[in-house]
A and B are shown apart, each in its own frame.
Chain A
């Protein structure tokens, strides 16, 4: 198991372009999360999936953002019509959730995809 993989690691794009990030979680993990981290700040929750179902989305996830996990394995995060304010590190994490009240599952993070919007 190589951990959580994210691709690409770096993306530079012009304002108005669409970008897509991919995350491959740890294979046996049923939960997958997306966080965004801007310079000098802690990560902020965007959304998460349990298997293929998207269970929660943050208000930070505007209509230009869409995340999918079609087969309950890898996930993609697409940003349409990028804006300079979208420049950030997009972090993916995964975990194995055993059920409610079984304790907080530990998230394993990937190295992130850094987006720069010019």
Chain B
């Protein structure tokens, strides 16, 4: 069975601090995909990144970066120089590649609050 664990339920930091959101996953599949989604107060899940299990290169997109480590089954997300607009609930998700990602398994989410 597939499982995603986001151990941090809530994180609160002051603006401009760096913050890392942890994600640990379990799967027996050798090929799989990992995702991060952001859910602002409006409720709509916003796609941030997709990673396949064969690509362990870290990725940076502006203030966002992702660290994928297969050895520890982790896919952590770092926001550098956080801003108030980053406040949201962030979800990590996992899917088997064969299924075409229709069946995402989500973690419980981390509520991130950035204080001015």
Residue ranges of A at the interface with B (Cβ–Cβ < 8 Å): 3, 31, 33, 35, 40-45, 48, 55-56, 89, 91, 93, 95, 97, 100-112, 114
Which residue of B is nearest A108, CB measured?
Answer: B47
Q: Is A43 in contact with B91, judged by CB distance below 8 angstroms?
A: yes
Residue ranges of B at the interface with A (Cβ–Cβ < 8 Å): 4, 33, 35, 37, 42-47, 50, 52, 91, 93, 95, 97-98, 100-109
Q: Is B106 in contact with A44, judged by CB distance below 8 angstroms?
A: yes
If A104-B50, A110-B44 touch, whether A33 touches B108 (CB-CB below 8 Å) is no
**8 extra A-B contacts, CB within 8 A, seeds A31-B102, A103-B97, A107-B45:** A40-B108, A40-B109, A42-B93, A45-B104, A89-B43, A95-B101, A95-B102, A111-B43
Which residue of A is nearest B46, CB measured?
Answer: A109
Which residue of A is nearest B40, CB measured?
Answer: A111
If A43-B45, A109-B44 touch, whether A104 touches B108 (CB-CB below 8 Å) is no
Contacts of A31 in B (CB 8 A): 100, 102
Contacts of B104 in A (CB 8 A): 35, 43, 45, 107
Q: B20: shortest Cβ distance to chain A, in Å?
A: 19
Q: Is A42 in contact with B108, judged by CB distance below 8 angstroms?
A: yes
Q: B96: shortest Cβ distance to chain A, in Å?
A: 9
Query: Which 9 pairs, one residue from A and one from B, show the smallest C-beta to C-beta distance?
Result: A42-B106, A104-B101, A104-B33, A109-B45, A111-B44, A48-B102, A111-B43, A112-B43, A45-B103
Complex Cα gap A93–B102 (Å): 10
Q: Is B50 in contact with A106, judged by CB distance below 8 angstroms?
A: yes
Contacts of B95 in A (CB 8 A): 104
Q: A52: shortest Cβ distance to chain B, in Å?
A: 15
A-B contact pairs, 9 of them (CB 8 A): A33-B102, A40-B108, A45-B105, A101-B98, A104-B52, A104-B97, A104-B100, A107-B47, A112-B43
